[in-house]
């Protein structure tokens, strides 16, 4: 299909666009470039009516963005296509906590793209938040503080899988600054004391999850949705009982860039029951593969 037919319409004030008049099985180079630029401009794209897109075509389309990720903890579609993972609501494939995917590794995916295989008639929507806006709408002093702090992210399934990233990142493609912490995987701000870290992270989650920064997608059969996993958060609303299944591809990218920490980690504190409680609160996080 020629790129002149591509139609891109914004779907909310904060992020997201619907891309129509395109068949993801047949994309020429010019159309692909328009889609990539639209993704980085709108952070989240919806491609309706991709009824003929099979897992092979889905993976082929996504591989144009870069090397595909094989997720360590998610079910794989098949031995031949381990890059397509299966999120089945009946076997734990639910993610009803705000997050960005797999931030607990050195190089978290830059793009995530699920396709709805089946889902409930109503409900099972997915919410998104724009983390450029979250950054921009912090006060100058708080932005400056965060700029000097790194954040620890750890897997909810294997706590030995963890990585430290800047809490403010410079986006690898746009160069814009984004807040880079999420409720599911970020466990501490490393240069603060545990109590300080808890309070500040709680504030940052509440701030970034506010409705003004977000939008909500109601899925229809044939929908493919794609997001910028460095500049957007998402939340899969868990309000349904019917079976729901997604096939998902993710794209590898560089390690998140940002300024180095400006301070040392605080000296080890005296054992305090309060600090222990705060440190342990991470254990109550549900095991979600993200």
Which residues have C-beta within 8 Å of that of residue 165, sequence separation ≥ 6?
103, 108, 150, 151, 153, 180, 255, 256, 258
Q: Could you count the other beta carbons within 10 Å of the beta carbon of residue 251?
A: 20
Contact 161, 289 (CB under 8 A): no
Task: State yes or no: residue 83 binds ligand AKG (CB under 6 A).
Answer: no
Count of residues making up the chain: 290
Q: Helix (H, G, I), strand (E, B), or coil: what is residue 3?
A: helix
Dihedral of the alpha carbons of 171, 176, 181, 182, in degrees to the nearest 10: -80
Q: How far is the CB of 114 from ligand AKG (least distance, A)?
A: 4
Q: How far is the CB of 275 from ligand AKG (least distance, A)?
A: 32
Q: How far is the CB of 234 from ligand AKG (least distance, A)?
A: 6
Specify the residue, 81 or 95, whose C-beta has the smaller distance to Fe ion. Answer: 95
For the chain, give the longest Cα–Cα distance. 66
Which residues have C-beta within 8 Å of that of residue 158, sequence separation ≥ 6?
72, 73
Residue 114: name its binding partner from ligand AKG, Fe ion, none (Cβ under 5 to 8 Å by kind). Answer: ligand AKG
Nearest to 189 by CA among 202, 177, 176: 202
Residue 55: name its binding partner from ligand AKG, Fe ion, none (Cβ under 5 to 8 Å by kind). Answer: none
From CA 1, how far away is CA 235, in angstroms rounded? Answer: 33
Q: How far is the CB of 69 from ligand AKG (least distance, A)?
A: 11
Binding site for Fe ion (CB under 5 A): 95, 101, 290
Q: Binding string, 101-140, against ligand AKG, x = CB under 6 A? A: x----------x-x-----------x--------------
Q: How far is the CB of 101 from Fe ion (least distance, A)?
A: 4
Residue 246: name its binding partner from ligand AKG, Fe ion, none (Cβ under 5 to 8 Å by kind). Answer: ligand AKG
Task: State yes or no: residue 167 binds ligand AKG (CB under 6 A).
Answer: no
Specify the residue, 16 or 290, whose C-beta has the smaller distance to Fe ion. Answer: 290
Task: State yes or no: residue 246 binds ligand AKG (CB under 6 A).
Answer: yes
Q: How far is the CB of 95 from Fe ion (least distance, A)?
A: 5
Element (H, E) at 90: none
Looking at 69, 233, 236, 249, which residue binds ligand AKG (CB under 6 A)? 236
Residue 96 CA neighbour count, 13 Å, CB half: 10
Specify the residue, 39 or 95, whose C-beta has the smaller distance to Fe ion. Answer: 95
For the record, the structure tokens of 290 come out as 């993200």
For the record, the structure tokens of 69 come out as 């990720």
Residue 100: name its binding partner from Fe ion, ligand AKG, none (Cβ under 5 to 8 Å by kind). Answer: none
* Cα 102 off chain centre by: 8
Specify the residue, 178 or 236, whose C-beta has the smaller distance to ligand AKG. Answer: 236
Task: State yes or no: residue 234 binds ligand AKG (CB under 6 A).
Answer: yes
Binding interface with ligand AKG (CB under 6 A): 87, 95, 101, 112, 114, 126, 234, 236, 246, 248
């Amino acid at each position: 299909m020629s790129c002149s037919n591509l139609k891109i319409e914004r779907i909310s004030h904060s992020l997201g666009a619907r891309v129509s008049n395109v068949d993801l099985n047949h994309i020429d180079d010019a159309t692909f470039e328009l889609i990539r630029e639209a993704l980085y401009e709108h952070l989240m794209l919806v491609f309706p009516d991709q009824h003929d897109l099979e897992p092979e075509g889905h993976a082929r389309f996504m591989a144009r963005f870069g090397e595909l990720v094989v997720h360590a903890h998610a079910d794989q579609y098949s031995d031949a296509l381990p890059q397509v993972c299966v999120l089945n609501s009946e076997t734990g494939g639910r993610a009803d906590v705000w997050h960005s995917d797999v931030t607990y590794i050195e190089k978290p995916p830059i793009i995530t793209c699920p396709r709805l295989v089946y889902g409930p008639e109503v409900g099972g929507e997915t919410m998104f938040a724009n983390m450029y806006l979250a950054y921009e709408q912090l006060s100058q002093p708080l932005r400056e503080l965060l700029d000097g702090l790194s954040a620890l992210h750890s897997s909810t399934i294997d706590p030995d899988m963890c990585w430290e990233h800047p809490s403010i990142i410079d986006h690898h493609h746009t160069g814009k600054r984004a807040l880079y912490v999420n409720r599911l995987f970020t466990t501490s701000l490393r240069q603060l004391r545990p109590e300080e870290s808890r309070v500040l992270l709680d504030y940052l989650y509440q701030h970034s999850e506010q409705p003004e920064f977000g939008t909500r997608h109601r899925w229809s059969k044939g929908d493919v949705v794609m997001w910028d996993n460095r500049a957007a958060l998402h939340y899969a609303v868990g309000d349904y009982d019917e079976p729901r299944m997604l096939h998902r591809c993710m794209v590898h990218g560089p390690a998140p860039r940002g300024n180095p920490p400006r301070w040392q980690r605080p000296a080890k504190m005296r054992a305090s029951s309060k600090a222990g409680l705060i440190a342990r609160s991470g254990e109550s996080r549900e095991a979600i593969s993200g």
